[in-house]
Structure 1
Amino acid sequence: MNEHISLWVKQTGVLPVNLLHCQNAGVLKYAMLDGDINNFCLDYSENQDMDADAYKQQAWSSNMRNYIRVAGDDVMLYRVGNVSPERISKSLVLNNMEKFYQYISPKQDVPNIEGIVPFVMKEFRGIRNWLREENSAESSMTALLYMLAFIKDNGNIGNDSLVSLGLPANTLDIVGKLTTMEEHLQHLREGMNGFLPNISLLLRHAAGQLFEEANYIAKFNPQLSLFTNYDIKYAYDPQKLGAFYTPTYLARSIVEKVIKESHIEDKEEISILDPACGSGEFLVEALRQLKTIGFTGKVKVYGWDVSSIAINIANFVLHFEKEEWNNSLELHIEEHDSIVCNWPNVDIVFMNPPYSSWEQLNDEQRESVKELMPKGKPNLSGVFYLKAVNALKESGVIGCVMPTSFLINDSTKELRKISKEKATPFYIGRLGSFVFQRAFVDVCVVMAKVRADFDGSITMLWTDNKGKLVPDALRKLRMIDYGAAIPLNMEDVSIYQQDAKSVFNNEVWMPLSYKEMQVKKTLDGLLACGAMERVKDVFNVRQGCRTGNNSLFKIKKQELLAMGEEEQSFFRPSVDSGSLQNNVLQEESYVFFPYGENGLNILSEEQLENKVPTYYRKIVGSKESLASRASGIREWWALTRPGSWQYTPELKLVSAEFGNSSNYSIDESGRFVVERGLAWLPKDEQMPIDNLYAYLAILSSEYYNTLLAIYSKQLAGGIWFNLEKKFVDQIPLPRFSDNEDYTLQLLIGYGKKIANGVRFDYYKCEHLVRGLYGC
């Protein structure tokens, strides 16, 4: 890498790739890619070869806002939207690169010029609206590809050139029926605001965003809209297929680290597979980075997808890349269902697999999944991962985006065990729920290598579950790769090395913040010396009942009060998210609970009508649907899973299903039925009741949120966690051996006040709890 460019990478964490398509060796023009909205062009050419408008036009066509030219002792900054360039001292820039990087980021006071992607999409909407049949998505996308190829190659497209351009065989038939095509082509040629589109730059630097937008537009049913032409707005929900477009910045970062780990310097040939390639984002990025680092060997690329539209796009963009590789690139871009077909043995696998659940699979897919994983009903992404590691050659590497459940769920524990024996992770990143543009899915990154050093360390990346953190976190990761200090310990981002054995010996692989990792080391020590025990050693954490139909089996207080006293006795207040706030239980809703010590108390429909006449009239109309529930219960008015442990009312420690330390309390009356929540039942039947209040004081402390952050799954929206048994079971609790213990008695006192909403000395209680945990 050029020493000047290397300095920019080390100081700002951006990734350089050649700016121009088929750029000649020795040309010092680069696209500096930060992964989000602050990409820029950087030019170290000795001579000025263009005027100011041409520099800005190249930036605009590359979907960037700035073109930076280093000329002698000056840096010339050409901003898209500004009339005149800015001249800045070179030494000032080089000595303050991070500040300069922030300075060139998009700002409110800089004129906003519409980017090239929305400009092209405007014309594509016109095509999609003209092709209004429901099945015209593929035809409209083909027309877009033709339009881009036509402008790029100055109209030289015939049947004999379709294959070399990666266009579908029926392209000219589709375009021939589009009477408006010439109009759209003319609009593209003319550009906008003086900017003429350079399609090669667009495809090179913005293809991912372009085709993601186009795919949403193409797949929307235009018959649902009353609007026409360019006013139409589209929305498309990819969650139906569990498939989500990989953001370019994420694909770029994964490719960069995997290629480095692959040590391709001495290889004459490498093979790359993406079994769910979509529009080819991973594959394009891999080819681009291989070319930038100077790889001169042969590359075999396999890209598969179940979507014919995706395959058409991938074929087009990869044939565009082939212009740089000529005969050194062998493409196998094909429409396949990767679950049911055999995978080739390859050096590298990149993937963002579909996250479809078992219920979304067809019969053939289920049979294939059972052959690989006979037990359980796994998410499809786990099956892809297992097939991927099995497809890797000796020293092969995988880099993939996965649902975070892969790192933490019991259902994927066996998959983690099997896969690590084949390919050992060297990088794990927790990214959160804000990665995909149009979907709210909690995701992680896993990179692993066949027979990697198990005794080594793993790079762990943690980001808080907030929006817009991931691109900057990946930029900081790149800075560390180029020599910045590690560990990185920030409020929202942590990057550190962790001993591989300590990761794999755990039940979960989820990265923690660096601060939380240090806390966990202290907790592990307290557990090892016997000062602490886990929740599962003290309590049976029980899931609440499942009614089978909350709209019928749960009622509000107003409905309850309209019933007679005897009828009311068959309803009990419910523990759910609405009834448990600020550690106080309140009667917000009621569950029909016709159960006693010996089970169901209403054994016939006649009894049902006599004992709860008002309620009977409400639910009898739904008799058929209630009787047909999959659980196979005999009495249609019975709950699906009532939980026999709560037939008899008793004082108990309870929590909501999701929440934080404010969502725990004590059911002192014992009347509450845990519905969307959990009950903590002491394993030791001799445990004094008062001790439950001591545990409540711990669970309601601010420090307990730290424990949840370490052992549970953080949900989007701040300090909000999954409070289910599989997570809280592992949380350490202080070991109380003497019921006369002074600390225990203080905690009991605080707990009783907390449960009753009485004011107490919060700071003394918090200090007491933290002291028990070694803080």
Structure 2
Amino acid sequence: MKEFIPGKLYQQSMEKDSKKANGRFYTPDYIIDFMLARVFSNVNIIENPFIKILDPACGCGFFLIKAYDLLKEMLKSNLEKIREKYSDETYETNKDGYVIKINGKQYWQEKNLHYHILKNCLYGADTDKEALGLCSASLLAKDNNDYKDELNLVCGDSLFRWEKYYCREQLVDELENYKLIYDIKNSRDHTVEHVTRDRLKEILRNNMFWSNKFDYIIGNPPYVGHKELNMEYKKWLLDEYNETFKDKSDLSYCFYQRALEVAEDKGIIGFVSSRYFMESPTGRNLRRYLKNNSRINNIVDFYGETIFPGVGVAAAIFFISNEVDNNNEIEVWKYQGNGFNKLEHKDFQIFKINQDSITEDRWILIPNEERRILEKIENGCTKRLGDMAESFQGIITGCDKAFIIDNDTIKTLGIEAELIKPWIKNSHVDRYRVRNSNLKLIYSDLIDDPSRYPNSIMHIEKYKQRLENRRECKKGLRLWYQLQWGRKTELFTKEKIVFPYKSTCNRFALDRRGCFCSADVYSFILKDGVGCCSLPFLLGVLNSRLYEFYFKLFAKKMGKDIYDYYPNTVMDLKIPDYKACKDIEAISLELIRLYEEDADSKRISILEKEIDDILRSYFSIRKEALSLK
């Protein structure tokens, strides 16, 4: 199989910002090969040699080019049987620019396969004309036989329902007359559009293209976050795709709904996309839509492993079919390897879950044994952490060099003491304790009169130009010497539990020193009126091995062994009854002391095991089930 160099060069030449804005990222060959192999595994080319394959965001055509090779090989291998089965059928073909009719014996010849595949089987759409041009050139170059017809490639937004909002008869009638401007009806907006002849032809081509139903839809729909979307287009999506798209949704969500709309009954869809919708609040609509409107056949979850070079998108592959099956079992492949350039069974944990077991709250992809443990924990508690605690993020300075200093700098510059606050970052947060930090924060939001704090102002002023360029300063929301987001001082001065926003394991610490935290640290305090609970008790629960296991069952994985400890997820943890597990509090207080003293690890291990034993007993979980020794 020849490697398609022009398309790859085109992808590589695109600026990084342009790729991000348009959501265009090159799909590695081994991912394309894997997806096509899975999709084509149930193709019966003899029964249906006219299968329609669509890539709705085809770009340079990497999926279509490889699909061409697979189709041609399948057709060649079965050509004799196909010719025999359809020998008496009549087919149209293009010879020297003229459409002629021939019988099946003449049509089903190897020399005609190039024409057949391009004319009847491969369909691609994209908004990038240059990429489509490369796709077209690459497909045409697949065979030395000339292809005289138009390829099934259209330039336009695949999310627009061309087949629904334009009347083909009116478009055809309009084209019969030559005009400078044509008036065509758009039934979606109930308006009349004034377009040129070329635009009218483009609309007609899209209308005819999207009137097809497709047997297989495959590709890498663009990942475009809500911040990158044009405001008008976002409003249109919120209206047009209200079943799947919410205010902070990704553009790729809409492609799932659109694919199901244009797929044949029981048609197969294979998309590689961000896995984030399985867990995010804004993915709720899409989760509900897919569960209720499709049969989810297979999910290949890369579980935070990077598969797109240079792109920090946690991806998964979703194979679904256009049918509803309430008793369906989803085959899940969960990546367990250490980096790859091909997909092999040995690198995945493979298991099945019932489609009914996934909820719109969150898709948790775990084997049945782990699901039973999860259910014991969830059903054994009445309250979530968010019912008892209030979480908040650390401070965003907008320029750490201006506000974060060490003790030596404070002495040298004579920074005013009343502005100085203890400062910690992610690296200072350990299990049960906050490590000592030599860093301090100039909490400049306390400056009411700059003339009273000349030394602090003199230091901060070194970075004035950069500080003034902060968005909040440009909008007049913050003074140049203030912190970008200073939060409320009373939140930091209270006794609180702090934890890093990303970590390989549960790292919750009790802060009694009133540390101010950077943005890569989150904290929580007890809500007013919360009785029969304490921060040391919660600390012991959250740092337990059982709760680390529990958290990782549904936490978002950000990379190899790195998990996202975003408060939405942490606050969703169910917490056991305080009175029934009260002994954890005293053990936790002892662990705090031992960790602060760097005590013998053997004693620490014994106490931590005691907490796990209490929790396992409370939830009736066997020790062997978690391999907790």
Q: 1:635 to 1:246 in 2, by over 3 A?
A: closer
Q: Which residue of 1 aligns with 2:348?
A: 493
TM-superposition CA deviations, 1:12-55 (whole Å, max 9, x none): xxxxxxxxxxxxxxxxxxxxxxxxxxxxxxxxxxxxxxxxxxxx
Quote how far apart the aligned CAs of 1:723 are: 0.9
- Residue among 254, 258, 266 paired with 1:395: 266
| 2:281 counterpart of 1:413 | no
Q: 1:627 to 1:743 in 2, by over 3 A?
A: closer
In 2: Cα distance, 1:353 partner to 1:695 partner: 42
In 1: Cα distance, 2:371 partner to 2:225 partner: 33
Quote how far apart the aligned CAs of 1:240 are: 6.2
Q: 1:259 to 1:625 in 2, by over 3 A?
A: same
In 2: Cα distance, 1:510 partner to 1:325 partner: 51
Q: Which residue of 2 aligns with 1:730?
A: 572
- Residue among 338, 342, 362 paired with 1:508: 362
Matched ranges for 1:555-574 at <5 A:
555-564=405-414, 567-574=416-423
Is the 2:434–2:511 contact (alpha carbons within 8 Å) kept by the matching residues of 1? no
In 1: Cα distance, 2:55 partner to 2:576 partner: 49
Quote how far apart the aligned CAs of 1:627 are: 7.8
TM-superposition CA deviations, 1:287-328 (whole Å, max 9, x none): 44444455759734221233444323322333355779999x
Q: Secondary structure at the match of 1:642?
A: coil
Aligned residues with identical type, % of pairs: 20
- Residue among 553, 567, 587 paired with 1:710: 553
Output the amino acid matched with 1:251.
Answer: I
Q: Which residue of 2 aligns with 1:258?
A: 39
| 2:10 counterpart of 1:215 | yes
Q: Which residue of 2 aligns with 1:281?
A: 62
Q: 1:711 to 1:542 in 2, by over 3 A?
A: farther
Q: Which residue of 2 aligns with 1:34?
A: none
In 1: Cα distance, 2:597 partner to 2:425 partner: 18
Q: Which residue of 1 aligns with 2:23?
A: 242
In 1: Cα distance, 2:239 partner to 2:538 partner: 46
Q: Which residue of 2 aligns with 1:453?
A: 325
In 1: Cα distance, 2:506 partner to 2:408 partner: 27
Q: Secondary structure at the match of 1:389?
A: helix
Q: Which residue of 2 aligns with 1:422?
A: 293
Q: Which residue of 1 aligns with 2:250?
A: 379
| 2:122 counterpart of 1:301 | yes
Q: Which residue of 1 aligns with 2:158?
A: 338
Matched ranges for 1:605-684 at <5 A:
605-607=450-452, 609=453, 612-615=456-459, 617-618=461-462, 620=464, 624-626=468-470, 628-629=472-473, 633=477, 635-644=479-488, 646-647=490-491, 649-661=493-505, 663-673=507-517, 675-683=519-527
In 1: Cα distance, 2:545 partner to 2:274 partner: 29
Is the 2:332–2:351 contact (alpha carbons within 8 Å) kept by the matching residues of 1? yes
In 1: Cα distance, 2:17 partner to 2:446 partner: 50
Q: 1:510 to 1:445 in 2, by over 3 A?
A: farther
Is the 1:584–1:754 contact (alpha carbons within 8 Å) kept by the matching residues of 2? no
In 1: Cα distance, 2:61 partner to 2:465 partner: 53
* 757-766 or 616-625, larger mean C-alpha shift: 616-625
Output the amino acid matched with 1:336.
Answer: G
TM-superposition CA deviations, 1:357-384 (whole Å, max 9, x none): 3343446644543433464143222233
Q: 1:522 to 1:716 in 2, by over 3 A?
A: same
TM-superposition CA deviations, 1:151-180 (whole Å, max 9, x none): xxxxxxxxxxxxxxxxxxxxxxxxxxxxxx
Quote how far apart the aligned CAs of 1:339 are: 4.7
Q: CA RMSD for the aligned pairs? A: 3.7
Q: Secondary structure at the match of 2:327?
A: coil
In 2: Cα distance, 1:693 partner to 1:377 partner: 36
Scaled by the length of structure 1, the TM-score of the pair is 0.60
Q: Secondary structure at the match of 1:584?
A: coil
Q: 1:589 to 1:379 in 2, by over 3 A?
A: farther
Output the amino acid matched with 2:486.
Answer: P
Q: Secondary structure at the match of 1:521?
A: helix
Quote how far apart the aligned CAs of 1:653 are: 0.7
In 1: Cα distance, 2:361 partner to 2:341 partner: 27
In 2: Cα distance, 1:699 partner to 1:354 partner: 38
Q: Secondary structure at the match of 1:562?
A: helix
Quote how far apart the aligned CAs of 1:267 are: 4.1
Alignment: residue pair count: 523
In 2: Cα distance, 1:560 partner to 1:757 partner: 29
Quote how far apart the aligned CAs of 1:561 are: 3.2
| 2:389 counterpart of 1:539 | yes
In 1: Cα distance, 2:146 partner to 2:333 partner: 34
- Residue among 222, 225, 228 paired with 1:360: 228
Is the 2:399–2:467 contact (alpha carbons within 8 Å) kept by the matching residues of 1? no
* Unaligned 5+ runs, structure 2: 87-115, 163-209, 624-629
Quote how far apart the aligned CAs of 1:444 are: 0.4
Is the 2:430–2:507 contact (alpha carbons within 8 Å) kept by the matching residues of 1? yes
Q: Which residue of 1 aligns with 2:109?
A: none
Q: 1:576 to 1:311 in 2, by over 3 A?
A: same
Matched ranges for 1:42-441 at <5 A:
205-208=1-4, 210-211=5-6, 213-215=8-10, 219=13, 238-239=19-20, 241-260=22-41, 266-267=47-48, 269-294=50-75, 299-320=120-141, 331-339=151-159, 342=162, 343-347=210-214, 348-362=216-230, 365-373=233-241, 375-431=246-302, 432-441=304-313
Q: 1:377 to 1:584 in 2, by over 3 A?
A: closer
Output the amino acid matched with 1:246.
Answer: T
In 1: Cα distance, 2:546 partner to 2:322 partner: 40
Q: 1:239 to 1:521 in 2, by over 3 A?
A: same
In 1: Cα distance, 2:438 partner to 2:563 partner: 22
Is the 2:587–2:611 contact (alpha carbons within 8 Å) kept by the matching residues of 1? no
Q: Which residue of 2 aligns with 1:462?
A: 334
In 2: Cα distance, 1:630 partner to 1:263 partner: 62
Q: 1:383 to 1:612 in 2, by over 3 A?
A: same
Output the amino acid matched with 2:424.
Answer: V
Q: Which residue of 1 aligns with 2:92?
A: none
Is the 2:395–2:519 contact (alpha carbons within 8 Å) kept by the matching residues of 1? yes
Scaled by the length of structure 2, the TM-score of the pair is 0.72
Q: 1:632 to 1:700 in 2, by over 3 A?
A: farther
In 2: Cα distance, 1:545 partner to 1:415 partner: 33
In 1: Cα distance, 2:71 partner to 2:322 partner: 21
* Unaligned 5+ runs, structure 1: 1-204, 222-234, 477-491, 595-599
Is the 2:406–2:438 contact (alpha carbons within 8 Å) kept by the matching residues of 1? yes
Q: Secondary structure at the match of 2:469?
A: helix
Q: Secondary structure at the match of 1:494?
A: strand
Q: Which residue of 1 aligns with 2:344?
A: 472
* 419-428 or 626-635, larger mean C-alpha shift: 626-635
Matched ranges for 1:735-754 at <5 A:
735-737=577-579, 741-754=582-595
Quote how far apart the aligned CAs of 1:581 are: 4.3
| 2:538 counterpart of 1:695 | yes
| 2:419 counterpart of 1:580 | no
